Structure 1
Amino acid sequence: MWHNRNVWIILIGELIVGLGLWAGIIGNLGFMQQLIPSDFHKSVLLAIGMLAGFLVGPIAGKMVDRYAKKSVLIWSSVGRIISVFFMFVAIYFESIVWMMLFLIVLQIAAAFFMPAMQAIVPIVVKDDELMTMNGWHMNVRTISRIIGTAAAGLLIVTVDLIWLYIISLIMYVLMLGCMFMLKIDEEQQQAKAKHSGSFKEVLPIFKEQPIVLMAFCLAVIPTLFLGSFNLVIINIVELQQNQSISGILYTVEGIGFMLGAFFVRKLTTYMTPTQLLFTVALVISVLDLSLGFSHISWMPIVTFAVFGFAVGCFFPSMMTIFQRQVPKSHHGRFFAFRNMFDTVLFQIVLLSTGALLDLIGLQQMGIVFGVISLTLTCFFFLYVKKSAMQVQ
């Protein structure tokens, strides 16, 4: 796999675009802090961008299946570059409207880019290399998040805000160059997808491939933790009266994630991807319950470190199941559908977390999430045993 130039291009490109993305995210927070006093109005502005990406999801999925994925990656990269110029105008005029246009264009570009990238991985690597590639892909994404947030956080207090977006622009231009360097033979896939049908053709896949439905639904379990991540950390800080623990929790989770994504390939030599998903789902369920002991100084550190390792194993395994079991002619629409589902689910979890924290507090909320996760894990485990389901 490491002799494949396309693998290096994808991983380097993911690192570059991640640095640009996080520079822009930190810049967005700084810009909104200057002009928008209300946290609710800030969330509404960000939600408008996500809504735009959600609405174009079906179109993006069909185009990824119908046209060359490399072309989709190139044009969506161009869209990211164009979006930054809207932000330059927003800064010059101190205009929220122009920032809204920036967010809309950026999210629409991402709605095309992400399914195309997820669909292109099974084309550039062999089937038995998918787990390793997915693990490294997510590791690089995590590294870009750590470096990007640290560097952008330092820059925002030392230089003018516009420099963060200049860095984003440079990163997006470099990413566009990486996409031109890809060498992929897509003629066979395009011939099969030439007459790809509607977006609704994704739904029968869940009936035809029960393993896909199982993996799709099990993804709710880590999302319960991920969607509440920042709010949980804020409450742990308040519960322990220790501001420094927030940085420790973010760090150990990031390190745990990278270790999980690195070792997941070795773990699959001892168990199938299905068994690995259920093992990790069970571990995360227990970690949800462990939030009930967040008042103990060392307990959240262990919880977040193990959670990082668990999701580092979970998502590469889940992605490998999707890439193997879903027909390649449907990859674009399927991954677009999954991204749309994730967007809605994250918003539901975020709002539910806020409500539960206000009503019952962190420790009781952990018990609620733990019971939900254990119930889902047991239900789908029995479903798998009954249907004798297995990944081919």
Structure 2
Amino acid sequence: MWGNKNFLLLMFGVAVSSTGLWVGIIGNLEFLQKNVDSSFLQALILLSGFLVGVFLAPMAGRIIDRGDKKKILIYSGFARCLAIGFMYLAIAYNNVWWMLIYTFVIGISGTFSNPAMQTLIPLIVKKEELLQANGVYMNLFTGARIAGTALGGVMLVGMSLSALYTVTLISYVILLIATFYMKVDVTPREKTEGGKKESFFGTLKDLYPIVRDQHKVVYGILLLIPPYLFLSGFNLMVIEISQIQHYPGIKGILYTTEGLCVFLGTYLAKRFLKEAKLPYLFGIVFISALAHISLFMASHLVMSVISFGFFGLAMGLLFPVTTTIFQTDIPAEYHGRFFSIKGMTDNIIFQILMLLTGLFLDTIGFEKMVITFGVCSFIIASLIYLQYRIREKQNSRKPVAAAK
């Protein structure tokens, strides 16, 4: 895998562009803080890109499945670079409308580029290397998040917002150049359903018979729900913990701890989990739920760090395994549609759960909220596990019945 030029180019581009992405996110928050007083309006602006992606995801998935993945990444890269121009205008005129256009363009670009990248990885690495490749991908993105947020915070102290977005632009250009040098020999599929209108439900109809028969995929999707309860409120909980402890510095400690433990988790997945098996997922999700419940002791610095560390470890194990299951058990010709619809659904769930987290923080408080979410995670994971065990017993009895 490490001698694979295409993989190295892709991972280099991901590392650089993701760092720039997080620098830009710090810039987004700073710009909104200066120009928009309402937290609700700030949230709406940040969510606008996701909403655009929701409507375009079905069409994007079919285009990715039919088309040249490399060209799609190139066009998406050009769109990202163009978007930075709108952000320069927003800064120059202190105009939120230009930022809104920037958010739309970034959202559209991500709707195409993220699923295309996930469908490209199985095409450039061997099947037996997928778990390791997905672990590397997650490690790079996590490292970029740590480096990007730290770099963005440092740059805000002594540099202008325009300088932050210049760093983001340079990172996008580097990814674009790296993509140009990739060589992927894939014959685009012929259009066999000409004139068919793309829609969420139409794409679901195409995917349902494929996913329904892949039980590992179904369980993999369902087992992502408990960790999403934690992930969706990640930033809100970090802010709340810093207020509980009266220690602003805990934010950086928690982000860094979680990120480093993600690295450890992906290493352990590569070292010990040779195959993507469902029993692994159940154990990982229970660790995630335990980390969530343990946050009721977040008033203690050490305990909050331990909780975030365990969660990071669980995520470092979980996402490479689930992604490998999706890439290997879903037929390649459906990868684009599957990852587009999954990404769209993830965004919707995230936004709903983030709003629910905020509501619970305002009403029942932090401790009751983390206990409620943690217990819900345990219940969901336990129900899925029981259903899995029942199915396994039924399958084990079928050969005996057939023999009689």
Say whether residues 1:286 and 2:290 are aligned partners.
yes
Q: Distance in 2 between matches of 1:335 and 1:23?
A: 26
Deviation of 1:373 (Å): 0.9
Q: Which amino acid aligns with 1:356?
A: F
Q: Distance in 2 between matches of 1:340 and 1:68?
A: 21
Number of the residue aligned with 1:247? 252
Distance 1:297 1:143, change over 3 A: closer
Number of the residue aligned with 2:388? 384
Number of the residue aligned with 2:399? none
- Match of residue 366, structure 1, among 364, 367, 370: 370
Q: Which amino acid aligns with 2:266?
A: A
Deviation of 1:329 (Å): 0.3
Number of the residue aligned with 1:353? 357
Q: Deviations over 1:179-206 (max 9, x none)?
A: 111111112xx34x64378523122233
Say whether residues 1:195 and 2:192 are aligned partners.
yes
Say whether residues 1:92 and 2:60 are aligned partners.
no
- Check whether the contact 1:254–1:308 (CA below 8 A) recurs between aligned residues: yes
Moved over 4 A (4+): none
Q: Which amino acid aligns with 1:364?
A: K
Once the two structures are superposed, the pairs formed by residues 313-324 of structure 1 within 5 Å of their partners are: 313-324=317-328
Once the two structures are superposed, the pairs formed by residues 133-148 of structure 1 within 5 Å of their partners are: 133-148=133-148
Number of the residue aligned with 2:179? 179
Deviation of 1:157 (Å): 2.1
Number of the residue aligned with 1:234? 239
Q: Deviations over 1:346-391 (max 9, x none)?
A: 111111111112222222112211221111111111222222299x
Q: Which runs of 5+ in 2 are unaligned?
A: 197-201, 396-404
| Partner SS, residue 298 of structure 1 | helix
Number of the residue aligned with 1:335? 339
Decide which moves more: 131-140 or 141-150.
141-150
Number of the residue aligned with 1:106? 106
Deviation of 1:34 (Å): 2.1
Q: Which amino acid aligns with 1:195?
A: T
Number of the residue aligned with 2:78? 78
Deviation of 1:272 (Å): 5.0
TM-score, normalisation: structure 1: 0.94
What is the count of residue pairs matched by the alignment? 386
Number of the residue aligned with 2:219? 214
- Check whether the contact 1:23–1:149 (CA below 8 A) recurs between aligned residues: yes
RMSD: 1.7
Q: Deviations over 1:76-131 (max 9, x none)?
A: 11111111111122222222111111110111001000000000111111111010
Q: Deviations over 1:147-175 (max 9, x none)?
A: 11111111122122111112211111111
| Partner SS, residue 176 of structure 2 | helix
Number of the residue aligned with 1:68? 68
Number of the residue aligned with 2:398? none
Q: Which amino acid aligns with 1:251?
A: T
Q: Distance in 1 between matches of 2:91 and 2:234?
A: 30
Distance 1:243 1:165, change over 3 A: closer
Q: Distance in 1 between matches of 2:239 and 2:105?
A: 31
Decide which moves more: 43-52 or 101-110.
43-52
Q: Which amino acid aligns with 1:253?
A: E
| Partner SS, residue 170 of structure 2 | helix
Distance 1:28 1:244, change over 3 A: closer
- Match of residue 269, structure 2, among 253, 257, 264: 264
- Check whether the contact 1:66–1:195 (CA below 8 A) recurs between aligned residues: no
